Every structure is written in structure tokens, then in C-alpha cells.
């Protein structure tokens, strides 16, 4: 292709990309409609500000923080970026209202409510305080219900994602939901590691995307070097959901890299079930014992670097993590790939 023609094709691809994610970028107030997933211990001031400074939209993972700790984290992030970012709040948090107030007091532009379906009062509190609400929609029916409740945007996350996951792949969820919910922007997440996938979902009707796994291994991420090393050397097939041994003792599936702790978790479940059968534990005690197995395991992996005994949460896109890269480089790479995928259409 002659140089002039090649340049024209690139410009055409960039123009198509800009038009496809214009709604999402406008909603977020960013250059690119690329959100950072809220990852406990990882999505804090350094990573969040780096994503926003690179033209994306960083999201603080509040997790179990209290209102004062969250306010401090927001202030520290604002000191590192003048660009928009959001905060992810867990709806089951006992101090949810106070956490919302911390976001509103700091003039956070977007609040992501995750976990159980948020109550109408929480939605009103956020919106009346001047922030926009984003909620997860695991099904089309739930998405419609949330739109009727007044959310400003939806996130649909496929089972390919890392951490706590649902049972359905993003490929299927996108086909089920994107054609039918057009009232609000819908962002997609789960297994996205390259710009070609971003372009494909935008063409299906997505307003933008959310990535977590690729950003967790970024240079600005505070994750331990051994944690990042595990990502770089992992294959997609190494990121598997946690196994539930007995249906009477349910386990919320978590996708993470298989390690020594994964094997011990299966053995631990078996021991808890045996102790119930022997009368040494009640069913409730055994269920609690199973749920507490992973307590502190994510911190052990992310902060302490114990990638054998900790929980190395990762999405299946981990197979596309090949090096520790600066955030700006990762986002530029994604944008270039998406643009190139669209230039000849």
C-alpha cells in the first residue's frame, strides 16, 4: 500500500474507533473508553492514577476499607491525576452509605456498585449527590431491571474474568444483552487482552471495555514482582475457577492461577465434609471453615509475593501478558490494535 494510502487507512481506522466508543468515552469523560477493573490490593492510587493519566478510566477497589481510609485513598489518587476516575463499592459493606458520602464529598464522578443488587436508596444517594452510577448486569433481565431503577451505565462481565465470576462467557452475554439494552452505555469485561477484541465488542454495540488482568502486571501496579512474574509465565489454561467439591457446601467460584493452595483447598473441603459426616462439625461450621480458607490469601499473593500459598487471581487473558509494561504503553498498544482492526472495514 502506498504511504499516502496507508496513512489514510490508519486515519479511517482511528475515526471509526473514535465514533464507536464516543458514547462510552463521553460518559466516562476520558480519551479512551477503557476502564480499569477494580482489583483488591491492586487497584489503588498508583495504578488507578496511571490508568487515568494514560487516557483510560481508573477505578479504586474499596473492598473492606472504611470511610476514612477510602477518603484518604481518593485524596491520594487525586494528588496523582487530574483526570476522571471512579470508586468500586461493595453493596454488602456495612458502611455503604458512609462510603458513598466519602465519594460524594471528594466529588468522585462515577461510583461502581458491585455485589448484590443495590437498593434504590443507594442509587438515589449516589445520583442525588452528583455522581453517576455503574452496576453489573449478569443477565438481560437484571440489566433491564437496573435500567428501570435508574442506573447510568451497565457492566457485563464474562466468566473469563479473574476473581469472582459468574457462569456465562462474555461472548454469550454480549450477544444476549448488547442488542437489547440501548438506553444506557454498556461496558464489557472478561478475557479482553487485545485491541482486536475491543473493536469487535464495540461493533457489537458496547460503549467501551474494562480490563483488569493486563493492568495488574503493569509497571505502575504495586503487585509484588513474583505476582507479576507468575502472570508473565502463565498460560490462559492456568487460570481456572475454584472447584466446588460438594453441592451441599457451595463455593463462590473465583478464577485464579492454579498453585499449591488450589490443591489444598480441595483437600480442605473434603476434610470439612468428613467432619460434618462424623458429627465433629455442624454444617454451618463447615461452611464457615470452607469460606475462611482463602482469608488473606489475595494479600499474601499480591503484596507479600507468596504465589504458591496465596490466591493469584487472574483472568484467562493472562496468557496475553508477556512483559511488565508501563500503563501508557499498554493502552497505546490496545488502541493501535483496535484502530488497525477497524481500518479496512
Q: Does 228 fall in a domain?
A: no
d(CA 336, CA 16): 12
**58 and 115 part of one domain:** yes
Verify that 157 and 290 share a domain, yes or no.
no
pLDDT of 1: 60
Q: Are 198 and 209 in contact (CB under 8 A)?
A: yes
151-206: per-residue pLDDT in tens? Answer: 999 999 999 999 999 999 999 999 999 999 999 999 999 999 999 999 999 999 99
For residue 98, the enclosing domain spans: 3-222+320-342
Task: Give me the pLDDT at residue 177, please.
Answer: 98
The predicted model gives 87-95 an average pLDDT of 96
103, 182: one domain = yes
Q: What's residue 113's pLDDT?
A: 98
- The domain total for the chain is 2
**Residue 230 within any structural domain of the chain:** no
Residues 54 and 201 in one domain: yes
One domain for residues 51 and 129: yes
CATH of the domain at 134: 3.20.20.70
So what's the pLDDT on residue 344?
76
Say whether both 161 and 250 belong to one domain.
Answer: no
Domain match, 191 and 331 both: yes
Q: Are residues 69 and 112 in the same domain?
A: yes
Answer yes or no: do 199 and 248 share one domain. Answer: no
In a domain, 66, yes or no: yes
Task: Indicate if 64 and 204 belong to the same structural domain.
Answer: yes
Q: Are residues 170 and 291 in the same domain?
A: no
Main-chain dihedrals φ then ψ at residue 319, nearest 5 degrees: -65, -10
What average pLDDT does the segment 30-56 reach?
98
Indicate the pTM of the whole model. Answer: 0.94
Given this model, what pLDDT does residue 6 score? 77
Amino acid 2: pLDDT: 67
pLDDT in tens, 265-314: 999 999 999 999 999 999 999 999 998 899 899 999 999 999 999 999 99
- Tell me the pLDDT tens digit for each residue of 107-138: 999 999 999 999 999 999 999 999 999 999 99
Q: Are residues 218 and 258 in the same domain?
A: no
Predicted confidence at residue 7, as pLDDT, reads 78
- Report pLDDT for 100: 98
Amino acid at each position: 500500500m502506498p504511504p499516502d494510502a496507508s496513512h489514510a487507512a490508519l486515519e479511517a481506522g482511528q475515526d471509526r474507533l473514535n465514533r464507536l466508543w464516543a458514547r462510552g468515552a463521553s460518559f466516562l469523560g476520558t480519551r479512551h473508553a477503557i476502564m480499569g477493573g477494580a482489583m483488591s490490593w491492586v487497584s489503588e492510587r498508583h495504578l488507578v492514577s496511571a490508568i487515568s493519566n494514560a487516557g483510560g478510566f481508573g477505578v479504586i477497589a474499596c473492598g473492606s476499607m472504611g470511610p476514612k481510609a477510602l477518603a484518604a485513598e481518593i485524596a491520594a489518587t487525586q494528588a496523582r491525576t487530574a483526570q476522571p476516575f471512579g470508586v468500586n463499592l461493595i453493596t454488602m459493606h456495612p458502611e455503604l452509605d458512609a462510603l458513598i458520602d466519602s465519594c460524594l464529598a471528594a466529588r468522585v464522578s462515577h461510583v461502581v456498585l458491585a455485589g448484590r443488587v443495590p437498593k434504590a436508596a443507594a442509587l438515589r444517594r449516589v445520583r442525588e449527590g452528583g455522581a453517576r452510577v455503574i452496576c453489573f448486569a449478569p443477565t438481560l433481565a437484571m440489566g433491564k431491571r437496573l435500567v428501570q431503577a435508574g442506573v447510568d451505565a451497565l457492566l457485563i462481565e464474562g466468566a473469563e474474568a479473574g476473581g469472582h465470576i459468574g457462569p456465562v462467557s462474555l461472548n454469550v452475554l454480549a450477544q444476549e444483552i448488547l442488542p437489547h439494552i440501548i438506553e444506557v452505555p454498556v461496558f464489557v469485561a472478561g478475557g479482553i487482552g487485545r485491541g482486536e477484541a475491543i473493536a469487535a465488542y464495540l461493533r457489537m454495540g458496547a460503549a467501551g471495555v474494562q480490563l483488569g488482568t493486563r493492568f495488574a502486571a503493569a509497571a505502575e501496579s504495586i503487585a509484588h514482582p513474583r505476582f507479576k512474574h507468575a502472570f508473565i509465565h502463565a498460560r490462559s489454561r492456568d487460570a481456572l475457577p475454584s472447584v466446588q467439591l460438594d453441592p451441599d457446601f457451595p463455593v463462590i467460584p473465583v478464577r485464579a492461577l492454579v498453585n499449591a493452595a488450589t490443591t489444598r483447598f480441595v483437600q480442605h473441603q473434603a476434610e470439612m465434609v468428613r467432619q460434618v459426616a462424623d458429627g465433629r462439625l455442624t454444617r454451618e461450621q463447615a461452611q464457615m471453615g470452607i469460606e475462611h480458607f482463602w482469608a488473606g490469601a489475595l494479600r499474601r499473593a499480591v503484596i507479600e509475593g507468596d504465589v504458591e500459598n496465596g490466591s493469584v487471581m487472574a483472568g484467562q487473558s493472562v496468557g496475553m501478558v508477556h512483559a511488565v509494561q508501563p500503563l501508557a504503553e499498554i493502552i497505546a498498544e490496545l488502541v493501535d490494535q483496535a484502530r488497525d482492526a477497524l481500518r479496512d472495514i
